[in-house]
């Protein structure tokens, strides 16, 4: 229970970020007239606290809590047998509607040599008990940026590699540039426009070969953390067999009401996208549940106009609804006018609110 958010996503990552913030604060103590000895990190204890935080939040997502709310929770791997039948633990349940919420998993690319080195993903990085000396983070999305900065603040030598010329590619370039500054200030070696092309070993040491504009260089690491995006879980539980359609991005294709090509089968969360955020999954779940129950009387179109999104780097980056990049892409010069309002650029928080308003 609890899915990625509780077990391998939001909760452990934010618990690790909290430890990293503590290190950052202590290292600034002298600026504030406070004498603190040079802090040392007990990495095993940091990671144990991450696990403790998960345990503390766990009851909110437990079978007990949901059963108390009136939900029949069955734990097992489910397979859709027909648009009206789901099999789990050998039992076939019949139903008027099905909601698919199977989530996503980290993308593991086919880069030569990757299978011969110590690679981690957001699924297993939480199992580390010894602090990596040198960590290579592949991918400059929110997960890569948050974890790269945290490990660096905790004392690991971190190199963050991004193929594009900007971190956080969905975000506005000026906002992402502030995050690059923040990461570099906290000791992360940020390499933009670099592509990992192969992994090798020499004398027990591990290297990645990075390519930029035809030039190649090697970077040594102890562990590589893959943060290259997340692939929707659509295989192995009956979708192919009954013919549920997917998008080009590999997510389950849904309409504005969260219905798949089967009107009684809905999909929400990371498996449907496009947001891959916990609150977006919850938001979609409301529409899917209400449309499944009451759709024959009235259907509700999912409204994403004020979807918030936060990246918990330092500085943090948060927005509500479209950013400037998306607003420009959607704007039609004849009909729409972009209003972009930056309401705060204090160092620790930059908030841009973008609104599309009619002339």
Ligand X SMILES: Cc1cc2nc3c(=O)[nH]c(=O)nc-3n(C[C@H](O)[C@H](O)[C@H](O)COP(=O)(O)OP(=O)(O)OC[C@H]3O[C@@H](n4cnc5c(N)ncnc54)[C@H](O)[C@@H]3O)c2cc1C
**How far is it, in rounded angstroms, from Cα 16 to Cα 52?**
11
User: What are the φ/ψ torsions at residue 81 (nearest 5 degrees)?
Assistant: -95, -30
* Closer residue to ligand X, CB minimum distance, 4 or 162: 4
Q: To the nearest whole angstrom, how small is the minimum distance from the Cβ of residue 1 to ligand X?
A: 7
**Three-state DSSP state, 261:** coil
* Closer residue to ligand X, CB minimum distance, 138 or 210: 138
Q: To the nearest whole angstrom, how small is the minimum distance from the Cβ of residue 216 to ligand X?
A: 30
Q: To the nearest whole angstrom, how small is the minimum distance from the Cβ of residue 326 to ligand X?
A: 18
Strand 349-358 and strand 336-344: the pairing is: antiparallel
Would you put residue 114 in left (φ > 0), alpha (ψ -120 to 50) or beta?
A: alpha
* Closer residue to ligand X, CB minimum distance, 13 or 166: 13
Q: To the nearest whole angstrom, how small is the minimum distance from the Cβ of residue 214 to ligand X?
A: 33
* Closer residue to ligand X, CB minimum distance, 8 or 206: 8
N-to-C CA span, the chain: 48
* Closer residue to ligand X, CB minimum distance, 8 or 259: 8
Q: To the nearest whole angstrom, how small is the minimum distance from the Cβ of residue 30 to ligand X?
A: 31
Q: Is the dihedral of CA 16, 21, 24, 25 positive or negative?
A: negative
* Closer residue to ligand X, CB minimum distance, 102 or 166: 102
Which residues of this chain interact with ligand X, rule CB under 6 A? 3-5, 8-10, 13, 77-78, 101-103, 122, 143, 233, 237, 269-271, 276-279, 281
> What is the CA angle 355-356-359, rounded to 5?
125
* Closer residue to ligand X, CB minimum distance, 73 or 293: 73
Q: To the nearest whole angstrom, how small is the minimum distance from the Cβ of residue 100 to ligand X?
A: 9
**How far is it, in rounded angstroms, from Cα 99 to Cα 289?**
8
**How far is it, in rounded angstroms, from Cα 83 to Cα 94?**
9
Residues 6+ apart with CB under 8 A from 256: 301, 302
Please give the DSSP secondary-structure letter assigned to residue 187.
T
* Closer residue to ligand X, CB minimum distance, 237 or 336: 237
Tell me the two tokens of residue 28: 């600034």
**How far is it, in rounded angstroms, from Cα 327 to Cα 355?**
8
Omega of the bond leading into 274 within 30 degrees of 0 (cis): yes
Q: To the nearest whole angstrom, how small is the minimum distance from the Cβ of residue 235 to ligand X?
A: 10
* Closer residue to ligand X, CB minimum distance, 143 or 175: 143
Residues 6+ apart with CB under 8 A from 152: 20, 158, 183, 186, 187, 188
Q: To the nearest whole angstrom, how small is the minimum distance from the Cβ of residue 88 to ligand X?
A: 7
Q: To the nearest whole angstrom, how small is the minimum distance from the Cβ of residue 89 to ligand X?
A: 10
Residues 6+ apart with CB under 8 A from 113: 198, 199, 200
Residue owning tokens 């290190």? 23
């Amino acid at each position: 229970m609890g899915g990625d958010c509780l077990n391998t996503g939001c909760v452990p990552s934010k618990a690790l970020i909290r430890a990293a913030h503590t290190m950052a604060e202590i290292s600034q103590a002298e600026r504030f007239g406070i004498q603190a000895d040079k802090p040392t990190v007990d990495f095993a204890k940091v990671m144990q606290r991450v696990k403790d935080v998960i345990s503390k939040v766990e009851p909110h997502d437990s079978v007990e809590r949901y059963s108390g709310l009136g939900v029949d929770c069955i734990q097992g791997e489910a397979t859709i047998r027909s648009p009206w039948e789901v099999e789990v633990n050998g039992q076939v349940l019949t139903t008027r509607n099905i909601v698919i919420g199977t989530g996503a998993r980290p993308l593991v690319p086919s880069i030569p040599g990757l299978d011969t080195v110590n690679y981690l993903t957001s699924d297993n990085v939480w199992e580390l008990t010894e602090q990596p000396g040198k960590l290579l983070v592949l991918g400059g999305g929110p997960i890569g940026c948050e974890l790269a900065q945290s490990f660096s603040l905790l004392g690991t030598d971190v190199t963050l590699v991004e193929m594009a010329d900007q971190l956080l590619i969905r975000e506005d370039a000026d906002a992402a540039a502030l995050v690059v500054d923040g990461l570099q200030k906290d000791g992360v070696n940020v390499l933009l426009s670099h592509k990992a092309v192969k992994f090798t070993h020499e004398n027990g040491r591990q290297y990645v070969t990075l390519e930029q504009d035809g030039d190649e260089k090697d970077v040594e690491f102890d562990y590589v953390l893959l943060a290259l995006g997340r692939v929707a879980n659509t295989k192995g539980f009956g979708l192919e067999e009954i013919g549920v359609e997917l998008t080009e991005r590999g997510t389950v294709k849904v309409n504005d009401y969260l219905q798949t090509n089967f009107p009684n089968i809905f999909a929400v969360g990371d498996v449907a996208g496009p947001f891959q955020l916990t609150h977006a999954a919850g938001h979609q779940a409301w529409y899917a549940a209400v449309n499944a129950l009451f759709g024959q009387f009235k259907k509700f179109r999912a409204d994403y106009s004020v979807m918030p999104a936060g990246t918990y780097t330092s500085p943090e980056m948060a927005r509500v609804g479209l950013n400037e990049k998306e607003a420009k892409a959607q704007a039609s010069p004849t009909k729409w006018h972009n209003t972009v309002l930056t309401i705060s650029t204090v160092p620790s928080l930059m908030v841009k609110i973008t609104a599309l308003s009619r002339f």
